[in-house]
Amino acid sequence: MKVPLRFQMTETDSGKTTLLNTISYLFDRESVDNSLIKSVYKHTISENNILVSQETICDFAKKILDKKKYNLELHRLDKEEVNIKTIKEFMKDDNTIMIIHVTLFGKSHYCLATSIDANYIYLFDPYYLDETYFDDYRMVELVYDNPFNFNRKVNIKRFNSMTLSDYSLGPVEHRECLIIKK
């Protein structure tokens, strides 16, 4: 049985929550290894979503998920490797998702990308936003009726932006993602 994806509880746990959402998305509840969940909670994250050991969430997630028993194919990308062309290439099938670094409120933030098409990337963002947050803006749509897959539809042009706009990949030097193929 699948469980709905969850929202973060504090201002600084988008990375951990996104990793937990990745696990929920990939595995049925009955097959989740309890030690996997414990290992996520053991690590402390700073206000900048960076592990105290200076690992990024993508590096930490790769280390946690890179076990033979999970049988996952993992690809860690950063900087200029993280672009729309590469993302579309990796996500061309339904078995691939990614933990991706984006900008939210001008700060570092992590989301789970679950699919992409010609116009939108579909994200599950663990940060809860009021339904009216993007009312006057058509580049991002909040979705509340698909808690197992996504809660944001982000226009590809916005997503691919080098600006610090909400849900953009932002400047090349800050880009990172972990591609996960089941």
Residue 16: which H helix or E strand, with range? helix 14-26
Q: Is residue 49 part of a domain?
A: yes
Look up the pTM and report it: 0.90
Question: According to the model, what pLDDT value does residue 64 have?
Answer: 85
Average pLDDT of adjacent 10-residue blocks, the chain of 182 residues:
90 86 92 83 60 72 84 94 94 92 92 96 94 78 94 95 94 95 92
Q: Is residue 144 part of a domain?
A: yes
Q: Is residue 46 part of a domain?
A: yes
Q: Is residue 9 part of a domain?
A: no
Contact 141, 129 (CB under 8 A): no
Integer CA distances (angstroms), 14 to 128, 162, 168, in order:
11, 21, 16
The 10 Å Cβ neighbour count of residue 31 is 9
- Which residue range(s) make up the domain with 129? 14-181
The Cα 12–Cα 177 span in angstroms is: 18
Question: According to the model, what pLDDT value does residue 134 have?
Answer: 77
Question: According to the model, what pLDDT value does residue 168 have?
Answer: 95
Question: According to the model, what pLDDT value does residue 94 have?
Answer: 84
Question: According to the model, what pLDDT value does residue 11 have?
Answer: 80
- What's the CATH code of the domain at 123? 3.90.70.10
Q: Is residue 97 part of a domain?
A: yes
Quote the number of domains for the chain.
1
Contact 128, 135 (CB under 8 A): no
Question: According to the model, what pLDDT value does residue 46 have?
Answer: 54
Q: Is residue 8 part of a domain?
A: no
